[in-house]
Structure 1
Amino acid sequence: MRRSTARHTTATITDQDHMDDDATSPTARTPRAEVRERLLAAGADVFAESGVHGARLDDVAARAGFSKGAVYSNFSSKQDLVAQVMQRSTNMVLASLQEVVRVDIAATDIADVVRAAFGGHDQARQFALLCEFRAYATRTPEAMPEFVRQRRELQDGVLDLVRLWFGAHPEVAPAMPLEDFAILLVGANVGIVFDAPALPGVHPGDVIAGIVDAVVRPRR
């Protein structure tokens, strides 16, 4: 599974780029890694709320507690910030799945674990961010390759988890190729969240658990 190659340093940023509440306080220094993470988190919030095209870098900086100079000290452009916010989102989704789908989960329990994982939290905000990334990539052709790369990274990550789990459980066999199973899991979850307003009472966890029940079969 591919990992992000973004570099993180321990350098610091001065109050020239920091919006300090107390103008008389001594100059403070914030570790660059913290500045970067705060900007990425703020970017995710602002992009989800205002859309990528409608979002201003001033708004992202203000949400993080910095001036716009901090954005340009850490990212080469708005497109670079969007790409890194997208990478952060991809990493978070994969990390969440890796925590849940462990190889030691018994075949009799895997559907319930998946149900809890996909149904235990509101995916609306994450989905709003994904929609904004997709729209941005559609309207900005030079951004599409990065969007595609990261969606493939997510798909490959899910496929790796599926392969690891089935490899640890020779007592069961998949009812379809694992590559198709991984695509189905991701696609079903995205589709259900997309259609949530038209599917009252339908929870992704229940549907995904049903798919897992149908695909994971005892080996004969």
Structure 2
Amino acid sequence: MPLVSTVGPGRRPPREEVRRALLDAAAQVFARQGVDGASVGDVAAAAGFTKGAVYSNFGSKDDLVAALVEDRVSAYLELGLAAVSDTDASLGEKARALGDRLTRAADEQRDWQLLFLELWQRAVRSGAVDGAFVDRRRELHAAVTDAVTAHLDQAGAEPPLPPAELATLLMALSNGLALERQIDPAGVPDDLFGRVLALVVGDRSAS
């Protein structure tokens, strides 16, 4: 079933609306069928448009994949920043809020994690260390490192690890726990990620 109904005669949807629908469809189709197993036509059909809409907005399938990676990385970063936006919260409270929000996001959008695995496998198998996926991951890591540094400085806290290593740990925990939770939800409590992050930044009340 299409994610977006095909528009009727006489109405041309805004370009941004079409682009958004195609990205959402691509995330779902690529996660379930694989990037190489899915066609441009599959993505277009899932969004309720023709293949021409994909080519006019992204140029090629590779360009669509690159745009999708950019979109999902940006969404992940925005989600994390929103979770720690309370300036009155303690560092431990922010850590728990971040872990809890990312856990809910993984539950709400299970295809995201499948898509991550698909793109990760593609990058590893091809050895594309300069591909879109790896490049965007590096940009995300740099942004997370900057955010970690800013929140530690604001709290006047001594980091248990260098901020760049904390960013690596956060990203690895986010992906790893999301995968474990998909297989065995009962084995990964709702608040586990948040409690672990709070412990990492020195909040012993989280244990």
**Does TM, normalized by the shorter one, top 0.5?**
yes
Q: Choose which of 101, 106, 109 in structure 1 pairs with 2:93.
A: 109
2:11 matched residue in structure 1: 28
CA distance in 2, matches of 1:143, 1:73: 28
2:115 matched residue in structure 1: 129
2:46 matched residue in structure 1: 63
* 1:169 to 2:155 alignment: yes
* 1:82 to 2:65 alignment: yes
Gaps of at least 5 residues in structure 1 are 1-17
Q: Is the 8 A contact 1:58 1:67 kept in 2?
A: yes
2:134 matched residue in structure 1: 148
Runs of 4 or more consecutive aligned structure 1 residues displaced over 4 Å after TM superposition: 18-21, 139-144
2:163 matched residue in structure 1: 178
1:6 matched residue in structure 2: none
- Aligned residue pairs total 196
CA distance in 2, matches of 1:161, 1:120: 21
Q: Which amino acid aligns with 1:173?
A: E
Change in Cα spacing, 1:214 to 1:29, as seen in structure 2 (3 Å) is closer
The Cα offsets for residues 129-170 of structure 1, whole Å up to 9 and x where unpaired, read as 101111222345568521111111111121121111112111
CA distance in 2, matches of 1:199, 1:39: 30
Higher helix share: 2
Q: Aligned-pair RMSD on alpha carbons?
A: 2.5
Higher strand share: 1
Percent identity reads 33
CA distance in 2, matches of 1:136, 1:184: 22
Gaps of at least 5 residues in structure 2 are none
CA distance in 1, matches of 2:113, 2:85: 24
Q: Choose which of 40, 46, 56 in structure 2 pairs with 1:73.
A: 56
Change in Cα spacing, 1:187 to 1:71, as seen in structure 2 (3 Å) is same
TM-score when normalising by structure 2: 0.83
CA distance in 2, matches of 1:178, 1:56: 40
CA distance in 2, matches of 1:90, 1:41: 14
Indicate the SS of the match to 1:174. Answer: coil
Q: CA deviation at 1:185?
A: 0.9
Q: Is the 8 A contact 1:162 1:178 kept in 2?
A: yes
Q: Which amino acid aligns with 1:112?
A: R
Indicate the SS of the match to 2:54. Answer: helix
The Cα offsets for residues 49-90 of structure 1, whole Å up to 9 and x where unpaired, read as 111111111111111111111111111211110110111111
Change in Cα spacing, 1:124 to 1:30, as seen in structure 2 (3 Å) is closer
Q: Which amino acid aligns with 1:116?
A: D
Q: Is the 8 A contact 1:176 1:215 kept in 2?
A: no
Higher-Rg structure is: 1
